[in-house]
Structure 1
Amino acid sequence: MKTYTQEIAQAAEPGRKAKAADLWGNTTVRRRVRDGLLTTLADMAPGHQRCMYCGDGQGTDIDHFEPKSLAPLRTFDWLNHLLACSYCNSNQKRNKFPRSDEDGSPLLLDPTLQDPLNHLRLVLPLCEYKGLTAQGEACIEVFGLNERGVLVEGRRTAYGTAKQSVELWRIATDRGQHSKAAEVVRVAWNRPLADVLAAMFHQSDHPAADLLFDGEEETLDLLRDSALREGFLARM
């Protein structure tokens, strides 16, 4: 990896972008670096190797958090690689990398360093995201988190199955079926769009939880149960 970065650095400034693209697309480099890198990222990904951005699509691509066209010297930087689905990577993000007008810092969230729950709130009845910060708003816009109907509808389904999961955990635990309860937890976190389940636990601890779960009081009571929280959140 360092060798390839050195090759890019040795190129004249105007040619670094092209050099980075050539190396990244080179068949030999793909065999030596990209295949193993993709496997490593997939092993680290939550659930069934899901996209780090939408949480729905399978993570089939290596995304350069800071695009190689803008930062060619980071093309082979391990800390600049994230697992993404092809749609988020090639159709939504592409070379977009918005920065703050104030200090030039990245506006996109790096989910390996920042907790998205601090920047995005999922409005559970609508299953759409609300940006809590400029970074959250940028992610909603760049990745089309509220515009892609398949994501919104998927979250509605995920919300329903997540509520069923906490209910099944309660039933299994009350019956002393602890292995079954553990399996319920495993399956719940391994489903696509597990961010919905994470949002439910996060919001159940919010001062305005009674309003956020208006009409869902039974679910809120379950999410507040200390034993249930321990059983589910130990997986995070």
Structure 2
Amino acid sequence: MIRLERAALPVDTAAQLKVYTREVEQTSEVDRKDTAARLWSHSTVRRRVRDGLLTVLADMAPGHQRCMYCGDSQGTDIDHFEPKTLAPVRTFEWLNHLLACAYCNSNQKRSRFPRAEDGSPLLLDPTLEDPLAHLRLVLPLCTYKALTPQGEACIDVFGLNSRGVLVDGRRTAYGTAKQSVELWRIATDRGQYDKAAEVVRIAWNRPLADVLVAMFHQSGHPAAGLLFDGEEETLGLLRDQELRAAFLSRA
């Protein structure tokens, strides 16, 4: 997971969401869950709001429309961060919508929404909080270590460490990310600035951009020498201020 910025919706989509939210609110509390589910699944309602939501969510997502939770698969589903079965009034609330892959949405998260003792959500909304404060990617193992209860909940609910395809994918992403920073340095030293810019663009558009984010973040850690033990050349590149400026301006 990486930090994302929430964008503004088209005016007509935002207006339609408000109409349906009012319709749910005006329903008796006991019937709200059924009303929200009926409206969300209604073909006319979905046609009026789905395209607008998906377009903006796709633009917000990492890489080429990657899932905002795992960062690997294509985001195909509009996920309700707080499930509509638990918070029906938020079914059509823009701030409650994230882009998820079908696996994270239907196989992993479903209606799971763990809360802390004070009632606050334990899952992370990457448009509200920076996952780096809650999760640390252990390089080069490419498994996550929880730094907070929120991080622990995300690892559990989304299977961030138990899904072998994600861990293997991150290892591959780590290798390609190291190659990317090396290629950028070579191209820049040769004055091939267009090629260097293309290296940056491709690096961020690959799946599992969380690996690249973690590499730059951890290269500035006081214990970076230990975190990148045996990979001093990579660490040196990640600390190169010119390279950091080129890559992080696209983050």
TM-score, normalisation: structure 2: 0.92
| Letter matched to residue 133 of structure 1 | T
**1:35 Cα offset (Å):** 2.1
Task: Specify every segment of 5 or more residues in structure 2 that has no aligned partner in the other structure, as ranges.
Answer: 1-16
RMSD of aligned Cα (Å): 0.7
Residue number in structure 1 paired with 2:60: 44
| 1:162 and 2:177 are equivalent in the alignment | yes
Residue number in structure 1 paired with 2:114: 98
The partner residue of 2:220 within 205, 211, 220 is: 205
- CA distance in 2: counterparts of 1:217 and 1:202, whole angstroms: 15
| 1:151 and 2:162 are equivalent in the alignment | no
Q: Find the residue that maps to 1:140 and give its secondary structure.
A: helix
Residue number in structure 1 paired with 2:37: 21
Greater RCO (Cα-Cα under 8 Å, separation 6 or more): 2
Task: Specify every segment of 5 or more residues in structure 1 that has no aligned partner in the other structure, as ranges.
Answer: none
Q: Which residues in structure 2 correspond to 1:167-182 (within 5 Å)?
A: 167-182=182-197
The partner residue of 2:124 within 100, 104, 109 is: 109
Residue number in structure 2 paired with 1:2: 18
Query: Identity rate of aligned residues, in percent?
Result: 80
| Letter matched to residue 129 of structure 1 | Y
Q: How many residues matched?
A: 235
- CA distance in 2: counterparts of 1:115 and 1:74, whole angstroms: 22
Q: Find the residue that maps to 2:201 and give its secondary structure.
A: helix
Q: Deviations over 1:122-171 (max 9, x none)?
A: 00121100001111110000000000000000000000000000000000
| Letter matched to residue 237 of structure 2 | L
- CA distance in 2: counterparts of 1:235 and 1:31, whole angstroms: 33
Q: Find the residue that maps to 1:201 and give its secondary structure.
A: helix
Residue number in structure 1 paired with 2:200: 185
Report if aligned partners of 2:63, 2:206 keep a CA contact under 8 Å in 1.
yes
**1:113 Cα offset (Å):** 1.1
**1:10 Cα offset (Å):** 1.6
- CA distance in 1: counterparts of 2:159 and 2:199, whole angstroms: 31
| Letter matched to residue 54 of structure 2 | L
TM-score, normalisation: structure 1: 0.98
- CA distance in 2: counterparts of 1:211 and 1:47, whole angstroms: 29
- CA distance in 2: counterparts of 1:113 and 1:197, whole angstroms: 20
Report if aligned partners of 2:62, 2:71 keep a CA contact under 8 Å in 1.
no
- CA distance in 1: counterparts of 2:227 and 2:237, whole angstroms: 15
